[in-house]
Structure 1
């Protein structure tokens, strides 16, 4: 049942900003952010914020927000210019900007703490301004994963629940002050399995998509042991849900086997399709209306050799929605797909970018591609293959050329995970919609 406060807050936010966002021209910034975010980066980014997992015995052992200087014109280009420890280790994972892009929210999958960083007062040196320690107690959820901005609000998708730490989960709504409003459960009827992962809005169509992964018991298990546990391997999501964005009511459940993860809506004006990848079955899936005007989900292509379980993890769609980057963790490969026809994606490029690779972010102009290495603390590879880095590549449309590599283990920082672009407030680097 969907709490009335949640529905009222979400509906008011969507109605208040929906029309202006739909008609606003896209300016710059990463291609995976919420469409409700203003103050977008225009041109060259100055900083890269890296939400980093702490490692016992390495530095202070705590999770931290690491800031890299990524402007080639800077004397500190490719260097760490700030690191902000949160004083504990809780499986740092994903982060997301508030709608005004002044604050970055980041979460821990294990301890369910949420950290709010001020990244506008001094973009090169973020500060921690709030720690939310009662997420599980207030929402009944654990594993805050996706942080997707609404006007004045933050919608947080969780991976698990506080009761049995399985895959049944939901989403929690907070205001930008960090105050809990309410939560909504993932559907468990009409084909719903209750699992959650990513959140993606399409205000022009008044729809939201969510995907699915697994619960705390699985993602905190050693990967080798997990893959040998037949029972645990059955505890992965196999659905996506289409929601009415304004009412926050589920409208349709799609069968998408194999844990569909990141969701990317086409950014081309007039398009009404989204694409995702299933981690365990290594398939690209398209969500689009059929000839009768009904939303459908269908597999449209393989990523590598599915029999070898390359494990597609993160993906990044180009600003013109004609290309898609996909990272596969197990073989350390970054792939590029031509999706000018989203019904028939074609891999046109592949490069081994590390022994293990996870997250991928690109600049809006598509000329710069960032890759990080860590998936989950207990899923990362062992020994020499446990590389932990952030790499910047230049992309000329034909070849990725490494520009720099920052070795996070060598600098005793930990495991590099989620990346977000940042810019100085001076000199017009930030542009408002």
Structure 2
């Protein structure tokens, strides 16, 4: 399978052109909710969000050149609607990537893949003006050699962090690393491999030990992880990587099912093609999660069968897989009926009807930009936000290197752009991942915060 994937990507390098048209359908899906990608242990923003926090990669020679947390005002009732209201630089460039809240949603943990630092921001004292609370610097030493902190995911009183690699060869072999909410190391949970399955079973031929994303279904005592690729590929130029035969062997082919309570791996599922983000259903009887594969452009269903066994099945194509559109982010709706899928190479957001999880059907698509990475949707489904940057070394070059934060209204038939922030023109950097903030989470009113009082004084 690895040879087939390498050949597929090699044949497709000449086809990685930006799509210039989109086919639209006039279907009206129900509410979509990026808040549903949050941990089930935390409070959700069910009304209007006030801010979007954008974890942003610094660019040499652009502004201060540092990674930063950029706060955008997204409340239409605010006089600062559509504007950057705060930036907080963290010093240097760390390959800013993913972030996640603690279970009480008072702190936002944001990782740097290159330096292995984890920046903990206080977002509750003043949601409009986050503060840097603490920097975790012992990730590699405390974990026993894990590098590349990726997903930061909330469990009760804990943060579970997926690593991308190890400090011996910077390949895909890695682990889950558990911390307290206060930033103290708890334990390392290594991904199962053929050499050390750790009591887990294999569904097929792979047990590669790779890691990427993590999600939980507490009612099924389930934790699940995916396995995209390791640090060495992340830090390689995208075009060079496509032509490097050894690099193209270094992609994961597994999803691992874990016992949530014991943190023990139970089963390694074959999901060939480099699975990325994981999103799990919320319905009381919907025992399944979705992921997409970067190299084969497929939607995969991770589901519990009638016998109580977890299985994996490819259930739909994303665009034309032969052109490698490169799916990068997904967002499931709160009613488990729809799934947004972003594809980096053609800059599109696609919407799938997943009412039948075994047979997703695309119902809408739109070109967001020359490149697109993350998609974040409001709880009520009326607002969808997009960012542009995948990785510093993987983003497009020249005029195709658009860097933006875009806000859209979903009117039931199409995405209508409301505003856009040009991160290059604003000298901010590469806009990567988003998280939402709201005064309502902390029973606060903006006038009771320093940033709110300053705004009121200007008014």
Structure 1 stretches of at least 4 aligned residues deviating more than 6 Å after TM superposition: none
Q: Which of residues 358, 381, 388 is equivalent to 1:343? A: 358
- The corresponding residue for 1:354 is 369
The CA deviation string for residues 28-56 of structure 1, in whole angstroms up to 9 with x for no partner, is 87110011113x32300000000000000
Q: Please say if 1:271 is aligned against 2:286.
A: yes
Cα RMSD after superposing both structures: 1.3
Q: Distance in 1 between matches of 2:415 and 2:238?
A: 30
Q: Distance in 2 between matches of 1:232 and 1:207?
A: 32
Aligned pairs for 1:19-418 within 5 A:
30-38=35-43, 40-139=44-143, 140-189=145-194, 190=202, 191-418=206-433
How many residues are treated as equivalent by the alignment? 402
Mean CA deviation greater in 143-152 or 289-298: 289-298
The CA deviation string for residues 352-398 of structure 1, in whole angstroms up to 9 with x for no partner, is 00000000010011111000000000000000010000101111221
The CA deviation string for residues 302-348 of structure 1, in whole angstroms up to 9 with x for no partner, is 00000000000001001111000000000000000000011100000
- Cα deviation for residue 269 of structure 1 reads 2.4
Alignment TM-score, normalising by the size of structure 2? 0.86
Q: Is the contact between residue 213 and residue 225 of structure 2 (CA under 8 Å) also seen in structure 1?
A: yes
- Cα deviation for residue 156 of structure 1 reads 0.4
Q: Is the contact between residue 69 and residue 78 of structure 1 (CA under 8 Å) also seen in structure 2?
A: yes
Alignment TM-score, normalising by the size of structure 1? 0.91
Q: Is the contact between residue 254 and residue 275 of structure 2 (CA under 8 Å) also seen in structure 1?
A: yes
Q: Is the contact between residue 172 and residue 182 of structure 1 (CA under 8 Å) also seen in structure 2?
A: yes
**Unmatched 5+ residue regions in structure 2?**
1-32, 195-201, 446-459
- Cα deviation for residue 188 of structure 1 reads 0.4
Indicate how the Cα distance of structure 1 residues 428 and 131 shifts in structure 2: closer, same or farther if over 3 A, else same: closer
- Cα deviation for residue 425 of structure 1 reads 4.2
